[in-house]
Structure 1
Amino acid sequence: MSTYKKILLALDLSNESEQLREKARTIAEANGAALYAIHVIEPLSFAYGGDVPMDLTSIQEQLDDHAKQKLQKFSDSIGYPIEGQLVVTGHTETEIHRIADEYNIDLIIVGSHGRHGIALLLGSTANGVLHGANCDVLAVRIIDDED
């Protein structure tokens, strides 16, 4: 097994992200790795196809601030030093790949909901991260609240 020196933990900051905490800490501790945490915010304009008749800048800034606070809280609770907390705006998979390349990440840890049927055909964030990464990817099975 290769030794991981730099690990990127990709979080959506939902309550289900808590399920990744122990796995990330255990792997980082076992490898003595630098641990980074990332949360990607898709721009509000993506949701509306970029055709919004108002300025969303202040709302986007509020989303960024809220995400930074939640990421800080998560990082404080992990029980392992976090080298970097990154909140970035863009397409989720693209930004995770960009940061992984920029920081020379050896392992990306991402949650996977294990969707079935049509959701599986449409793809998931974990699947997108896996297929474009230049490093190992660990997709941790997330148990949904309704499971």
Structure 2
Amino acid sequence: MAGYKNILVGLDLSEDSAQVLDRAAQIAADSGAQVSLAHIIEPLTFAYGGDIPMDLSEVQEQLQNQAKDQLRKAGAALNIPESRQHVMLGQPATEIHRLAEDSGCDLIVIGSHGRHGLALLLGSTANGVLHGAGCDVLAVRVHSPKE
């Protein structure tokens, strides 16, 4: 395995995120790499089509604040400073690519739920990150408690 120096971990902040973080922490410990965390929130206008006749900015701000709190807790468990914890708005794969490039990351670690059928045809964040990254990508297969 390559000696990674700068690892970006893309988290969806679900219960499965702990599995992704654990794997990234193992790799970082083995290679002495620094770890950064990222959570990307799709703007509500993207998620809901933009035709909703209401102001969603307050809801968007609440989502961002909740994500920052969750990311702060995850970062604290691994002693990752807040300066390397990123909550961003945008399309997840695009923003992860941009952050990885801007930060000089040599490995992106993300979770993969191993979807099948229609969900696979529609694509996933993990697939989008994999196919546009300028560095190595590790897709950690996450398992729900019932699996």
In the superposition, the TM-score normalised over structure 2's length comes to: 0.94
Deviates more, 1:84-93 or 1:23-32: 23-32
Partner of 1:62: 62
Per-residue deviation, 1:121: 1.6
DSSP-derived class of the 2:84 partner: strand
Q: Quick check: 1:81 aligned with 2:77? A: no
DSSP-derived class of the 1:132 partner: coil
Partner of 2:97: 97
| Partner Cα distance (2:47, 2:21) in 1 | 29
Segments of 5+ residues of structure 1 without an aligned counterpart are none
Segments of 5+ residues of structure 2 without an aligned counterpart are none
Provide the aligned C-alpha RMSD in A. 1.3
| Partner Cα distance (2:36, 2:5) in 1 | 11
DSSP-derived class of the 1:15 partner: coil
1:5-44 → structure 2 map (5 Å cutoff): 5-44=5-44
Measured against aligned partners, the alpha-carbon deviations of 1:37-86 in whole angstroms (never above 9, x if no partner) come to: 000000111122111211111111111000000000111123x4346000
Moved >6 Å (runs of 4+): none
| Partner Cα distance (1:54, 1:144) in 2 | 35
Measured against aligned partners, the alpha-carbon deviations of 1:104-144 in whole angstroms (never above 9, x if no partner) come to: 11000000011112211221111110000000000000002
| Partner Cα distance (1:101, 1:20) in 2 | 21
In the superposition, the TM-score normalised over structure 1's length comes to: 0.94
Q: Quick check: 1:71 aligned with 2:71? A: yes
